[in-house]
């Protein structure tokens, strides 16, 4: 999953949405940098000239999500992302980051963790140690994040998800996977993580094969063992 520290650059807090972009359509309009009704004409002309330059320099036409950004919106900003085995696990994140930079000018720098369990926690911090805080976002194992969530060391994403849910469609995520990124605190469910995958194991039964062979549905481990012998 992707987790972010609080109080980082706006670029970093947009990271999860940039990497987890949906192809759905949206009615969200890009930010208006040069409000015509508020600026004096001379200032407006200068602003429009600058905006035109940014529009030609940056490309936000790749998809509906990127179209919600203003070209060059994060020009010069840098977010440091601690990944793990990126080429195999989340190679598409790198592709999305390049499109994000092409649109906003904000650069996401990928670093590789040596230990996906320990390295993110060492950077975030814990109750017993202050983190090094070199990174703005992480790919990490959700079961290692409870302490960080309880201490408020991760940014809660509820508001950001609500603002972007037309494209993100958080409710479409499989409930069990969705709950892995949630932490209950002070009577509220905080969304601290966006799951990159749903790596959990459950038994499945081929009902069609049971019906074909006239076998009952197993309800105990003993039933399952007997079925395995069939």
Note down pLDDT in tens along the chain; length 230 residues. Answer: 666 554 333 444 445 444 444 333 344 344 556 777 777 888 888 887 766 666 678 999 999 999 999 999 999 999 999 999 999 989 999 999 999 999 999 999 999 999 999 999 999 999 999 999 999 999 998 888 999 999 999 999 999 999 989 988 999 988 888 998 999 988 999 999 998 877 667 778 889 999 999 999 999 999 989 888 87
What pLDDT score was predicted for residue 142? 86
What pLDDT score was predicted for residue 135? 97
To which residue do tokens 């040069």 refer? 34
CA nearest to 67, candidates 92, 102, 37: 102
CA nearest to 203, candidates 228, 186, 184: 228
What pLDDT score was predicted for residue 161? 93
Q: Which residues are bridge partners to 2 per DSSP?
A: 139, 194
149, 192 Cβ separation under 8 angstroms: yes
DSSP tag of 141: -
- Cβ neighbours for 221, distance < 8 A, ≥ 6 positions apart: none
Q: Domains in the chain and their CATH numbers?
A: 2-191 (3.40.190), 203-230 (no CATH)
The Cα–Cα gap between 4 and 12 comes to 7
Pairing of strands 188-191, 182-185: antiparallel
What pLDDT score was predicted for residue 116? 93
Phi then psi for 145, rounded to 5 degrees? -105, -5
What pLDDT score was predicted for residue 29? 44
96, 18 Cβ separation under 8 angstroms: yes
pTM of this prediction exceeds 0.85: no
């Amino acid at each position: 999953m992707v987790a972010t520290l609080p109080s980082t650059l706006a670029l970093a807090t947009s990271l999860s949405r940039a990497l987890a972009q949906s192809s759905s359509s949206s009615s969200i309009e890009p930010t208006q940098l040069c409000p015509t009704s508020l600026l004096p004409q001379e200032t407006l002309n200068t602003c429009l000239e600058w905006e035109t330059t940014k529009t030609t320099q940056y490309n936000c036409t790749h998809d509906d999500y990127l179209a919600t950004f203003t070209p060059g919106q994060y020009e010069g900003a840098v977010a440091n992302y601690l990944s793990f085995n990126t080429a195999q696990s989340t190679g598409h994140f790198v592709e999305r980051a390049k499109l994000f930079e092409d649109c906003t000018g904000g650069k996401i720098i990928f670093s590789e963790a040596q230990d996906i369990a320990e390295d993110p926690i060492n950077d975030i911090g814990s109750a017993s140690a202050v983190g090094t805080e070199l990174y703005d976002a992480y790919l990490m194992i959700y079961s290692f994040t409870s302490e960080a969530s309880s201490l408020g060391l991760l940014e809660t994403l509820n508001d950001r998800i609500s603002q972007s849910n037309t494209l993100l469609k958080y409710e479409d995520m499989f409930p069990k996977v969705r709950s892995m990124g949630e932490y209950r605190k002070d009577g509220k469910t905080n969304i601290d993580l966006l799951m990159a995958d749903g790596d959990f194991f459950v038994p499945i039964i081929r009902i069609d094969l049971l019906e074909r062979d006239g076998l009952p549905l197993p309800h105990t481990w003993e039933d399952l063992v007997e079925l395995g012998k069939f």
